[in-house]
Chains A and B, each alone.
Chain A
């Protein structure tokens, strides 16, 4: 390992302002996509629950 300290690591040899936004945006997009899909799946399952419940009430 070449980094002497955490600050040195974060500075990325002076390129921290370019390296971290690149990795940050990538991480954010990937996490965001997974969260959106989980919510979408939960929402459709909830809708199916509701329609099933209304069918039971109607019958």
Chain B
């Protein structure tokens, strides 16, 4: 790496990003644990039983945050991919690569917990309605981005190809989000809306919100943990990584 690079590229180098990520992880992890503990406390011990769904509704305290994260992380991943393509910045590609598995995990969890909510509520583990189907496609999209990256040996080509695939796939995110409005889905409409009064009791809403915040902090911590692994694996030939082994 040449010394004459502009300052901003120096700060966006993997070498500078590695220790910064390391410093941020404990904060995000700590906040995640606080939020998740508070969310579970409110969700199980404060929030009342739903008069229609009984206690099965409590599944939404993990289902809705997981579903939100599955879509949000995809957009963030595609955003890093776009920055990487635009600026040819390696750390941006690394961030995109670091986010994909966590996004896939939350997509799986949204589908899994959704099935366990659907069975007692609808009487079916799965239905091929627009919301569920488009979310399943999102899982395949995450898998596609990861597999494409893994299947190309040349890292620069792998970065660019998987970034393009991630970007093209962004069209599915608004489809998932608006599917309950555009089609007559079995899946219910949005529980939280910017424009309408909430359809849930305040304690239920706050449990869901705090859990979502916890998932958000968790995702940040885990993505940074993974990007540190990716940086070390990719830069293992560089002398700074050799020095970093003791840190």
Contacts and interface: CB of A to CB of B under 8 A. Distances in A.
Contacts of B45: 1, 3
* Chain B CB within 10 A, most for which of A14, A34, A44: A44
A22 B117 CA distance: 8
B105 interface: yes
Contacts of B225: 34, 37-38, 41
Contacts of A12: 55-56, 58
Contacts of A52: 242, 245
A33 B232 contact: no
Contacts of B233: 44
Interface residues of B, number: 37
Interface stretch (B46-54, B133-141, B159-167, B193-201): B46-54
Interface in A15-59: 15, 18-19, 21-23, 25-26, 29-30, 33-34, 37-38, 40-41, 44-45, 47-49, 51-52, 55
Interface in B57-101: 58-59, 62-63, 66, 101
B108 interface: yes
B55 A19 contact: yes
B109 A34 contact: no
B56 to A, nearest CB: 4
Contacts of A37: 222, 225-226, 229
B242 A19 contact: no
A4 interface: no
Interface residues of A, number: 31
A48 B241 contact: yes
A7 interface: no
B23 interface: no
Contacts of A38: 225
Interface in B232-247: 232-233, 236, 241-242, 244-245
Contact of B109 (A2, A13, A25, A49): A25
A29 B108 contact: yes
Interface string B95-129: 00000011001001100110011011000000000
A13 to B, nearest CB: 4
Contacts of A45: 232, 245
A9 B228 CA distance: 41
A39 to B, nearest CB: 10
A18 B117 contact: yes
A30 B63 CA distance: 14
Given A12-B58, A44-B229, 13 more contacts: A9-B44, A18-B117, A19-B58, A22-B62, A22-B113, A23-B59, A29-B105, A29-B109, A33-B105, A33-B222, A37-B222, A44-B233, A47-B236
Interface of B: 44-46, 48-49, 54-56, 58-59, 62-63, 66, 101-102, 105, 108-109, 112-113, 116-117, 119-120, 218, 222, 225-226, 228-229, 232-233, 236, 241-242, 244-245
